[in-house]
Amino acid sequence: MSVLIFIDHSDGHLKKASFEVASFGATLAKQMNTKANALVLGNVFDDLTQLGNYGINKIYQIQSDNFNHVDVKMFTSLIVQVVKQVDASVVLFSHSQTGKALAPGVAVKLNAGLVTGVCDLPKTNEGFIVKKTVFSGKAFAWVSVTSPIKVLTLNPNSFSVQIINENASVEPITVPIPNASVQVAATNKVTGEVPLSEADIVVSGGRGLKGPENWGIIEDLAHALHAATACSRPVADAHWRPHHEHVGQTGVQIAPNLYIAIGISGAIQHLAGVNRSKTIVVINKDPEAPFFKAADYGIVGDAFEVVPKLTAAIKEMQSK
C-alpha cells in the first residue's frame, strides 16, 4: 500500500501543478500512514530529488525519448504496470489536460474508483471520502470511493503546497513499453505565457473593452502582476482573443488567488468558471453589473480610465 503520484513535466521541466499534487499526495500518505512515491515518464532536466521537499520518498522514472508526447494508451499501460509493481493503493494526477486524458483509463484498467476535480484532502478515518467541485465550481460533492484502489485528479490551485523534507531518491523501474497508439504530426506550444490554469493572478476582459485593439491595457496590467490573461465567452467567440482564454462554465475553470474582471457583466455562466478564485476584483462602469455581487473589491468606473491608473499604482507599489 502506498500513494503514487504521476508527475507531469513540460519540455523537461517540472510543473507547478506537479508540486501541488506531490505535496497533496505526501500529506495524504502521512494521513494514511504510508509513503508517497512519484512516477516520472520520460527525460527531465530538472533535479527530480527536489520532490523530496514536497514529501516524496521514491521517484520511479522510466527514461525514454519515446515519451516526449503523452500517448494516452501507451502511458495508461505504463502507469498501470507501475502501480501494480509498487503496490500503490492511491494514484494521483493533476486535473490538467494530461491528467484528464490519463486518469480515466488508468482507473478502468485497475478497476479503481475515479474522482476528478478533487479540491481537498480525503477523509480517511472511515472509508475514503473525497471532496470534488461540481456544477463548474458552483458546488462541491463528497464522493465515497469503495474500490481497493483509488484514482484522483487534483484541481490546480486548490491545495497549498506544504514543505515536508524527505530524502528522495530516483529509482529506475522497468516495465514493458507498448507501441504508440497515435502518430504525432505536429505540436504547437504557446511559449512565454503564464498558463491560465496555473496562474496565481488572472486579468480578464469582457465585451466592455469594445474591441481587440483595446487589449493593451489588459496586457499591461497582467504584465505588471505577472498574471495570465483571460476573457469572457463572447470575446473569444468574436475572435478578439484566442479560445483557450475563455473562462466560465463552457470554458476553462480557474481558481487563482486573484481574479480581476474588467468590463465583464458577471453572467452566471461566467461566474461558474471563476467563483472559486480567492479574491475577486471587478471593474465595471455599471454599478448594477451582477459581477459586483460575487466580488470582494470593486471599482465602478470606466475601464479605459481606471485600468491604466491601476497598472501605474501597482508598479509604484512594486518599486517601493
Partner 1 sequence: MKILVCISKTPDTTAKIAFKNNNTQFEDAGVQWIINPYDEWYALVKAIELKEKDPSIVLHLITVGGADCDAIIRKALALGGDEAFRVDVESDDSYVIASQIAAFANKGNYDLIFTGKETIDYNGSAIGGMIAALLDLPYLSLSTQFEWNGTEAKVTREIEGGEEVDLVRLPAVISCQKGMAEQRIPNMRGIMAARTKPLKVITPIAVNALTHIVTYELPPAKAGVKLVPADDVAGLVKLLHEEAKVI
Ligand X SMILES: Cc1cc2nc3c(=O)[nH]c(=O)nc-3n(C[C@H](O)[C@H](O)[C@H](O)COP(=O)(O)OP(=O)(O)OC[C@H]3O[C@@H](n4cnc5c(N)ncnc54)[C@H](O)[C@@H]3O)c2cc1C
Residue ranges in contact with ligand X by CB under 6 A = 206-208, 232-235, 248-251, 263-265, 267, 269-270, 273, 284-286, 289, 302-304
At its nearest, how many Å lie between ligand X and the CB of residue 197?
15
Which listed option, partner 1, ligand X, none, makes contact with residue 1 (CB within 5 to 8 Å by class)? none
Chain residues 195-234 in contact with partner 1, contact rule CB under 8 A: 195, 201, 225
Q: Phi first, then psi: what are they for 55, rounded to 5°?
A: 95, 10
Which x/- pattern over 115-154 shows residues binding partner 1 (rule: CB under 8 A)?
xxx-----------x-xxxxxxxxxxxxxxxxx-------
For partner 1, give the closer residue by CB, 15 or 35. Answer: 15
The verdict on 257 binding partner 1 (CB under 8 A) reads yes
Is 56:19 a contact under the CB 8 Å cutoff? Answer: no
Q: Are strands 169-172 and 58-62 parallel, antiparallel or unpaired?
A: parallel
Neighbours of 189 (CB within 10 A): 8
State which H helix or E strand residue 161 sits in.
none
Which listed option, ligand X, partner 1, none, makes contact with residue 201 (CB within 5 to 8 Å by class)? partner 1
Neighbours of 267 (CB within 10 A): 17
CA distance 8 to 19: 9
At its nearest, how many Å lie between ligand X and the CB of residue 223?
20
Which listed option, ligand X, partner 1, none, makes contact with residue 52 (CB within 5 to 8 Å by class)? none
- Longest C-alpha distance within the chain, in Å? 62
CA distance 199 to 304: 24
CA distance 315 to 319: 6
At its nearest, how many Å lie between partner 1 and the CB of residue 256?
9
The verdict on 42 binding partner 1 (CB under 8 A) reads no
For partner 1, give the closer residue by CB, 2 or 94. Answer: 94
For partner 1, give the closer residue by CB, 55 or 273. Answer: 273
For partner 1, give the closer residue by CB, 57 or 311. Answer: 311
Which x/- pattern over 63-82 shows residues binding partner 1 (rule: CB under 8 A)?
------xx-xx--x------
Residue reference for cell 514493458: 176
Residue reference for cell 471599482: 299
Which listed option, ligand X, partner 1, none, makes contact with residue 303 (CB within 5 to 8 Å by class)? ligand X
For ligand X, give the closer residue by CB, 81 or 265. Answer: 265
Q: Which of 183, 198, 112, 98 is nearest to 148 (CA)?
A: 112
Chain residues 160-189 in contact with partner 1, contact rule CB under 8 A: 181-189
Which neighbouring-strand residues pair with 252? 247
Phi-psi region of 284 (alpha: psi -120 to 50; beta: other; left: phi over 0): beta
Which listed option, ligand X, partner 1, none, makes contact with residue 286 (CB within 5 to 8 Å by class)? ligand X
Q: Which of 58, 49, 60 is nearest to 14 (CA)?
A: 49
At its nearest, how many Å lie between partner 1 and the CB of residue 249?
5
Which listed option, ligand X, partner 1, none, makes contact with residue 298 (CB within 5 to 8 Å by class)? partner 1
Residue reference for cell 505588471: 224
The verdict on 238 binding partner 1 (CB under 8 A) reads no
